[in-house]
Amino acid sequence: MIELPKLTRHLRAGLLACAALGATALSLPALAQTQAPIVRTASGPVQATVRDGMRTYFAIPYAAPPVGDLRWRAPRPAASWADPIAKTKSGAACLQTGAAAFRSSGDSEDCLYLDVHTPAGPGPFPVMVWIHGGAFTSGSAGVYADPTPLVSKGVIVVAINYRLGAMGFMALPALRESDGSAGNYGIMDQQAALGWVQKNISSFGGDPKNVTIFGESAGGFSVMSHLAAPGSAGLFQKAIIESGAYGVSGQLTQAELEALSTEAVNTTLTRAGLAAPGTCTVGTPSAACLRDLPEPVIRAMLMSAFASAVPNIMPSVDGRVLPRTIKATFVAGANNKVPVINGSNQDENLLFLALQELAARFSAKPPNFDPTNRSFLLTADGAMASAKALEAQTGISANDLLKKHYPLSAYGSDTVLQPSLAAGAAGTDSTFSCNGINVSARMIGQGSPVWMYEFRDQSAPSLVGSFGGKAILSLPQGAAHATELSYIFNLMDLGSGDRKALKDTMSGYWANFAKSGNPNGAGLPAWGAFKGGQIQALDVASDGGVKPMPIVAFRTEHKCDSVWGRQTF
């Protein structure tokens, strides 16, 4: 039961950790420059790197660098080039916020690049556009530079970067456009990348009329944003939301975001010694002041100041990209209606509790990484503190949460683990599971085809808490937040044949959905539509396998009616 601001900080760190892990794992596949075809885009030629039957066109600029006068503006077209771009790795990540150990390395303001991964052959192939997660503060396309599980099944995968943190989501009165809007530059970047796909993907053998957007965590919330954004209509035909419904009731208005952004800028100008009458006046800094800030000031001060002022960074109601909240847009039926896969993981919140334990171990003097020492786990008092924070957010009493709905005694016989498991269940249910199923129900009520899943593999490799293959945490993470990513992309060796079989099934579902709008296909377990009363449980064969789960069973397990029913979408 982590309160929302604290959850988001851990969400940010968790996806950063996943990014660091993925970047390490993805350095392994060998890159070969044999048979390197050249494709001509509307702006210039690009040359492929060929590896294991997949052609990858790395670091293609889809927009001009958002620097100088282009800071905090809608993306502009990239300049044309004459010589082929022949990169062998992804472009620079956008500026990151978070602990240095977890940031994607080599970040830069000049970051609006995408990678195109294609099968061999003429096509036309369905297109999947991947929007990475990371709490809108971290992550990059480069983490996902090996989508072989999907590409090998006959789809093109396009992975994109987009501006993050203060560079992507800050809003100030001085930055308002002529229509009065400000902020959401990261979502505008995503729209520009989708526009690039429409204009160029046929040259790579892709079908611009068969585009699926998919993303996890903040990437999944981005998918939700495009389902609500009028300007995204027609840029895609299908959508996959992975653990993306977490923030459907937490969006800020433009006025709220401008007030918090002003606080962050004031803090930055003061700390940097730049506050002075004129363009950099504290309280009313001009656009010129902001666009002239040295990059070291932005990197070292503004990014962290904004993350502190706005702990739940996400797309806001700006009047342009999002004229109203995502929830209000869906309630009014004004959203873009397409076939959707939507889902979450059984133990989402355990990742964030694992990160809490990891932070506590690092802070010990000396640091302690002995997993048999379990004094770093959440205590009963810690679980009660989190319950009180949830009470402040939801109105559900902390005593009811811990004594009635999530009693410690219901979480096994190991009294040391009970507080973590109870808090993990409450955070998962309130933030991910019930929001997710309510989103699915809303879309079904509008007539959109929906397939819903829950990833349940308790044996899934943990994203954090191991060093050199050795566990350093006491908390078992189960099917925690983001663990399903290794079953869609090549992020790490899954080890067992059971897990590899599940990976083949899941990537098959995703690819089939991109092809036809239906995940079912030859050789795969039948997946019943959400409208038919089913959710697909995604698990290894040794622990139940891939099979239907009744909606009522899901709602009961995650207490969506008995506790969280008041939180409807």
Report yes or no: 478 and 353 within 8 Å, Cβ to Cβ: no
Local confidence band at 99 (pLDDT 50, 70, 90 cut-offs) = low
Angle 234-236-242 from CA coordinates, rounded to 5°: 140
Strand 450-455 to 534-538 pairing? parallel
Report how far residue 92's alpha carbon sits from residue 85's, in angstroms, rounded to the nearest whole number: 15
What letter represents residue 514's amino acid? A
pLDDT digits (tens, 9 = 90+) for 116-125: 999 998 889 9
433 within 8 A of 560, measured Cβ to Cβ? yes
Distances (CA, A) of 90 to 93, 139, 332: 8, 12, 40
pLDDT score recorded for residue 276: 82
Number of domains making up the chain: 2
Residue 27, pLDDT > 50, answer no
Closest listed residue to residue 75, CA positions, set 176, 183, 189: 189
235 and 350 in a single domain? The answer is: no
Flag whether 509 is in a domain. Answer: yes
Give residue 114's region: left, alpha or beta (phi > 0; psi -120 to 50). Answer: beta
Determine the pLDDT at residue 93: 97
**CA-wise closest residue to 141 among 217, 89, 78, 200:** 89
pLDDT at 566: 65
Q: What is the pLDDT of residue 122?
A: 87
For 379-413, write each residue's pLDDT tens digit. 999 999 999 988 988 889 999 999 999 999 999 99
> In the structure, what pLDDT confidence band is assigned to residue 198 with cuts at 50, 70 and 90?
very high
Task: Report how far residue 194's alpha carbon sits from residue 179's, in angstroms, rounded to the nearest whole number.
Answer: 23
Give pLDDT, residue 275.
Answer: 84
Q: Average pLDDT for residues 334-338, to the nearest whole number?
A: 97
The CA dihedral of 157, 449, 429, 376, to the nearest 10 degrees, is -10
pLDDT above 90: residue 569? no
Long-range contacts of 271-277 (CB under 8 A, 24+ apart): 271/301, 271/305, 272/297, 272/301
Contact 302, 265 (CB under 8 A): yes
Whether 178 maps to a domain, the answer reads yes
Residue 263 forms part of a structural domain: no
Please report whether residue 204 resides in a domain: yes
Backbone angles phi, psi at 179, to 5 degrees: -85, 5
Neighbours of 15 (CB within 10 A): 31
- Does 32 share its domain with 158? yes
The pLDDT of residue 567 is 66
Q: How confident is the model at residue 344 (pLDDT cuts 50, 70, 90)?
A: very high
Q: Are residues 144 and 228 in the same domain?
A: yes
Query: What average pLDDT does the segment 51-67 reach?
Result: 95
Q: Which one of 304, 338, 372 terminates a domain?
A: 338
- The residue assigned the tokens 């890159």 is 31
Distances from the Cα of 52 to the Cαs of 130, 185, 229, in angstroms? Answer: 21, 36, 38
Beta bridge partners of 317: 253
Q: Which of 281, 308, 338 corresponds to the end of one domain?
A: 338
Among residues 273, 150, 258, 274, the alpha carbon closest in space to that of 214 is found at 150
Host domain of residue 202: 4-251+320-338
- Structure-model confidence comparison of residues 274 and 13, the more confident one: 274
Tokens of 107: 């970040």
Judged against a pLDDT cut of 80, whether residue 414 lies above it is answered with yes
Give the span between the Cα atoms of 131 and 378, in whole angstroms.
Answer: 33
| Contact in structure between 127 and 208 (CB atoms under 8 Å) | yes
Residue 330 included in any domain = yes
Cβ pair 449, 475 in contact under 8 A: no
- CA 181/CA 183 separation, integer angstroms: 7
Residue from 345, 372, 286, 320 nearest 477 by CA: 345
- Both 463 and 424 in one domain: the answer is yes
Look at residue 13 in the predicted model and tell me its pLDDT.
39
Residue 467 CB partners (closer than 8 Å, separation 6+) = 369
Answer yes or no: do 324 and 433 share one domain.
no
Q: Are residues 232 and 378 in the same domain?
A: no
* pLDDT exceeds 90 at position 42: yes
Asked whether residue 514 carries a pLDDT value surpassing 80, the answer given is yes
Q: pLDDT band at residue 31, thresholds of 50, 70 and 90?
A: very low
Strand partners, 269: none
Token representation of residue 554: 């899901």
Distance between start and end Cα atoms, the chain: 21
> Using one digit for the tens of pLDDT, what is the confidence trace for 418-428?
999 999 999 99
Query: Distance (Å, rounded) from C-alpha 58 to C-alpha 205?
Result: 16
Question: Is the torsion defined by CA of 519, 522, 525, 529 positive or negative?
Answer: positive
Q: Are 146 and 9 part of one and the same domain?
A: yes
pLDDT value of position 565: 81
| Claim to verify: residue 367 and residue 495 sit in the same structural domain | yes
How many Å apart are CA 405 and CA 458, to the nearest integer? Answer: 23
Q: Is 180 exposed, middle or buried (0-12, 13-18, 19+ CB in 10 A)?
A: exposed
What integer pLDDT is reported at residue 9 of this predicted model? 44
| Rounded average pLDDT over 342-365 | 95
Burial 79-115 (b: 16+ CB within 10 A, else e): eeeeeebbbebbbbbbbbbbbeebbbeebbbebbbbb
pLDDT tens readout for residues 270-326: 999 998 878 899 988 999 999 999 999 999 999 999 999 998 999 999 999 999 999
In the block, residue with structure tokens 């829950």: 454
Pair 499, 541: CB distance under 8 Å: no
Instruction: Kindly state whether residue 314 falls inside one of the protein's structural domains.
Output: no
CATH number at residue 23: 3.40.50.1820
CA 382, distance to chain mean position in Å, is 28
> What is the set of active-site residues?
217
Check whether the bond before 124 is cis (ω within 30° of 0): yes
Residues 362/364/367/368 CA torsion (nearest 10 deg): -100
CA–CA dist 368, 362 (Å, integer): 7
- Return the percentage of the chain with pLDDT > 90, whole number: 85
Supply the mean pLDDT for the chain. 91
pLDDT in tens, 294-310: 999 999 999 999 999 99
Q: Are residues 333 and 350 in the same domain?
A: no
For range 2-23, the mean pLDDT:
39
Q: What are phi and psi of 138, to 5 degrees?
A: -155, 175
548 upstream amide cis, omega within 30 of 0 = no
Tell me the three state secondary structure of residue 58: strand
Mean pLDDT across 525-542: 96
- What is the phi/psi pair of residue 547, to 5°? -160, 160
- Pairing mode, if any, of strands 238-242 and 113-119? unpaired
Residue 460 and residue 351 share a domain: yes
Whole-number pLDDT of residue 328: 95
The reported pLDDT for the residue numbered 52 is 83
Residues 414, 397, single domain; the answer is yes
Rounded mean pLDDT, 342-366: 95
- In the chain, what percentage of residues exceed pLDDT 70? 92
Same domain, 357 and 237: no
Q: Is the pLDDT of residue 10 over 80?
A: no
Query: Is 139 among the domain residues?
Result: yes
pLDDT digits (tens, 9 = 90+) for 216-259: 999 999 999 999 999 999 999 999 999 999 988 889 999 999 99
Report the candidate in 240, 131, 147 with the shortest Cα–Cα distance to residue 193: 131
CA 545 from chain centre, in angstroms, equals 26
Mean pLDDT for 440-446 is 96
Look at residue 188 and tell me if it is in a domain: yes
